């Protein structure tokens, strides 16, 4: 397949070529490591028989060391084998929206964005902020990042839902305990031809991109907002200086979101949970982050708990929850 992909005619049929590239990536991640593990285990078993027969303690000690290495490789492969979904290997868009809680909710949304960015950095993924809107006083009302890497969607799909924060509010003069909410949604990036969109169903607006400053900020209408009238989905992108590039990214995001609706049988429920129209509050929360009166992060789907809240918010221990969820979904 690698030899075929190097031919000049490989991309003549782009749809077929992309399917083959996707299949090749799957084989590299699944088939090759499995085959190598199988071969190495069989080879070690043969070596063990000989060492036991000859009572060779030196070789037996070497075998113990190799077994430890093999266990680590098996654990790594077991983690990868969790990803069996159609879109698990795809790049993805991760969108956050502040919910109930006012300024605290906007601040919570920004904290979540920081947590995911740190986890992505530590996990070797590449990401780009494609849209954001600041809160009136602090934090973010919304933010969207585009994530690239093997099994980006497979990992991040575990984060879909409402996240709840309990803490002593830094925005309350009386320093009282507040509960705030933010929603996380994740869409796999798919091929444009997978979803048919009628141009007449789109309303495209341009506006000046906001930002920390600079010669391009608020001077050119480079930011793009695309409204899909039949579904009510609104996508915005302002990461690029070029209006054309922002439009391309916005269209990819729109296709991804519409495809998610198409794949989800309970569309009405999904709209209620994740769309900007829905209430992001107590219902449908997947995880609680409690900073007062005690420290605890709990996933309500898997009952996984961690007392080191800061470790989770720093991205270092987020994988514990991601892996627990993925393993709970394994058939």
Backbone torsions φ then ψ of 165, nearest 5 degrees: -115, 130
Query: Phi and psi for 238 in degrees, rounded to 5?
Result: -145, 20
In angstroms, the Cα distances linking 80 to 29, 73, 99, 279 are: 8, 11, 33, 35
The first and second tokens of residue 97, run together, are 């929206």
**Look-up: residue for tokens 């049929």?**
13
- pLDDT tens figures, 48-100: 999 888 888 888 889 998 998 898 888 778 777 788 787 888 899 999 999 98
Q: Are 188 and 90 in contact (CB under 8 A)?
A: yes
pLDDT for position 97: 95
Sheet of 223-228: strand order equals 202-207, 223-228, 233-237
What is the DSSP code string of 200-244? GGEEEEEEPPP-S--TTTTTS--EEEEEETTTTEEEEE-SSSSHH
3-state SS assignment for residue 98: strand
pLDDT for residue 211: 47
Structure tokens at 132: 């954001």
List pLDDT tens digits, range 218-241: 446 788 999 999 888 889 988 777
Other C-beta atoms lying within 10 Å of the C-beta of residue 317: 16
Does the N-terminal peptide bond of residue 293 adopt cis geometry, omega within 30 degrees of 0?
Answer: yes
Contacts 24+ apart (CB under 8 A), 192-195: 192/251, 192/252, 192/255, 193/15, 194/255, 194/259, 195/255, 195/258, 195/259, 195/262
Helices 267-274 & 243-263, crossing angle to 10 degrees? 130
Spatial separation of the C-alpha atoms in residues 157 and 323, rounded to whole Å: 11
Q: Which residues pair with 133 in a beta bridge?
A: 142
Distances in Å between the Cα of 243 and the Cα atoms of 156, 218, 232, 252 are: 28, 13, 22, 14
Strand residue runs (E) in the chain:
92-98, 126-134, 140-148, 161-168, 177-188, 202-207, 223-228, 233-237, 285-290, 296-299, 305-306
- Average pLDDT value for residue range 126-155: 92
pLDDT at 218: 42
Give the confidence band of 331 by pLDDT, cuts at 50, 70, 90. low
pTM as predicted:
0.72
Q: What residue has token string 């048919």?
A: 196
Tell me the C-alpha distance between 220 and 20, whole Å. Answer: 41
Biggest CA–CA distance in the chain, Å, is 81
User: Tens digit of pLDDT for each residue in 162-220?
Assistant: 999 999 999 988 889 999 999 999 999 887 766 778 888 899 988 876 644 333 344 46
């Amino acid at each position: 397949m690698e030899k075929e992909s190097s031919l000049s005619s490989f991309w003549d049929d782009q749809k077929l070529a992309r399917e083959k590239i996707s299949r090749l990536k799957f084989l590299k991640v699944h088939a090759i490591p499995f085959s190598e593990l199988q071969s190495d285990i069989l080879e070690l078993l043969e070596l063990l028989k000989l060492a036991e027969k000859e009572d060779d303690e030196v070789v037996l000690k070497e075998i113990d060391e190799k077994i430890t290495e093999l266990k680590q490789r098996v654990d790594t492969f077991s983690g990868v084998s969790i990803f069996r979904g159609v879109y698990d290997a795809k790049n993805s868009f991760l969108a956050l929206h502040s919910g109930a809680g006012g300024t605290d909710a906007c601040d919570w949304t920004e904290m979540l964005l920081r947590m995911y960015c740190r986890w992505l950095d530590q996990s070797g993924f590449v990401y780009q902020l494609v849209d954001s809107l600041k809160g009136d006083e602090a934090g973010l009302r919304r933010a969207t990042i585009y994530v690239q890497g093997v099994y980006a969607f497979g990992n991040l799909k575990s984060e879909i839902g409402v996240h709840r924060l309990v803490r002593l509010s830094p925005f309350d003069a009386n320093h009282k305990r507040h509960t705030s909410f933010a929603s996380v949604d994740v869409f796999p990036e798919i091929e444009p031809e997978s979803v048919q969109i009628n141009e007449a169903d789109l309303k495209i607006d341009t506006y000046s991109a906001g930002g920390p400053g600079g010669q391009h900020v608020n001077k050119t209408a480079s930011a793009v907002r695309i409204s899909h009238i039949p579904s009510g989905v609104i996508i915005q992108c302002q990461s690029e200086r070029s209006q054309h590039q922002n439009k391309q990214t916005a269209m990819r995001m729109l296709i991804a979101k519409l495809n998610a609706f198409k794949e989800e049988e309970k569309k009405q429920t999904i709209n209620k949970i994740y769309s900007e129209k829905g209430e992001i509050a107590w219902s449908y929360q997947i995880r609680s982050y409690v900073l007062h009166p005690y420290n605890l992060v709990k996933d309500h789907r898997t009952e996984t708990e961690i007392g080191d809240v800061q470790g989770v918010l720093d991205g270092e221990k987020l994988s514990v929850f991601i892996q627990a969820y993925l393993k709970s979904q394994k058939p």
